[in-house]
Amino acid sequence: MIAIDLTGRRALVTGASGGLGQAIAEILAAAGARVAVHYRKGQAEAEQVVAAIQGKGGKAQAFQADISDPAAVEKLLQEIDGAFGGLDILVNNAGMDGPRAVVGDDDPQVWEKVLAVDLMGPYYCARAAIPRMEKCGCGVIINITSVHEFIPWEGYSAYTSAKAGLSMFTKTLAQETADKGIRVVAIAPGAIKTPINEAVWGNPDTLKDLDDKIAMERLGAPEEIGHVAAFLASDLASYITGTTIAVDGGMLIYPDFRHGG
């Protein structure tokens, strides 16, 4: 069996104090990476993630920053430089969807905030990470998008626009950095069972409605995103760049059409 080996790699996972980010951080650490567990709020939760990683023999440290602030991002990367000596893997996971509101009934400031976190944040982080990766002639940037980079979602135009933009940013950045030894890829999760959407999977009626939208008829587990992230960050994915990997249980193959158009 060929194992995923990230020994000696230094990784930053944004939004890693819970949910998908936590799973990604823990799995990267289990594969041997030293992981910067980023949080904006929730220091206690981030420290718990660090403790869990260290309890299994892994290496991790918590770092705080507002990724929508470019100065804060640069300070974050400088702190990681001091602690880790550089960066090999960046996982842009931190994000928000914002309150549901159709255009015209929404708040433009909220729309801008979603874009600031979901699109500008990954841009600031990637922009700060690239010079560090160039020094060693290698690096991997993984952007966590969503199936909603492909699928419209009424009431969440800021979120869908940000994720679609992050997809094209992934492709363009991959084009710009391929000759520098840097790979840039995206993961588009489908419906994943995390605390943030417990209101949906905790209700039998809404859970059935969601399951009906998924070909495999179940929600994904956070670890299933983490495993794909670890693979993409590893040398096993050395010829993959500039594309999105959908990890969605078949949501994007429109399972309703199994019974006819």
Our CA dihedral for 74, 76, 81, 84, rounded to 10 degrees, sits at -160
What domains, with CATH codes, occur in the chain? Answer: 10-244 (3.40.50.720)
| End-to-end C-alpha distance for the chain, whole angstroms | 42
For 98, counting Cβ atoms within 10 Å of its Cβ (0-12 exposed, 13-18 middle, 19+ buried), the class is buried
The residue that leads in pLDDT, 258 or 216, is 216
Determine the Cα–Cα distance for residues 123 and 125; give it in Å rounded to an integer.
5
Which helix (H) or strand (E) is 229 found in, with range?
helix 222-233
When computed from its CA atoms, the radius of gyration of the chain, rounded to whole angstroms, is 18
pTM: 0.97
Residue 257 in this model has a pLDDT that exceeds 90:
no
pLDDT band, residue 205 (cuts 50/70/90)? confident
The residue that leads in pLDDT, 14 or 201, is 14
The mean predicted confidence, pLDDT, of the chain is 96
- Counting every residue written for the chain, the total comes to 261
Closest-CA residue to 93 (of 19, 5, 154, 27): 19
Residue 1 in this model has a pLDDT that exceeds 80:
no
How many CB atoms are closer than 10 A to CB 153?
14
Catalytic residues: 159
Coil/strand/helix, residue 71: helix
For range 3-20, the mean pLDDT: 97
pLDDT given for residue 261 in this prediction: 66
pLDDT given for residue 201 in this prediction: 86
Count CA atoms within 13 Å of residue 101 on its CB side. 13
At 59-100, the pLDDT tens digits run: 999 999 999 999 999 999 999 999 999 999 999 999 999 999
Coil/strand/helix, residue 92: strand
Listed range (54-58, 118-122, 192-196, 257-261) with the worst mean pLDDT: 257-261
The helix-helix angle for 222-233 and 19-30 (nearest 10°) equals: 50
At 137-180, the pLDDT tens digits run: 999 999 999 999 999 999 999 999 999 999 999 999 999 999 99
For range 4-11, the mean pLDDT: 98
How many CB atoms are closer than 10 A to CB 71?
10
Residue 238 in this model has a pLDDT that exceeds 90:
yes
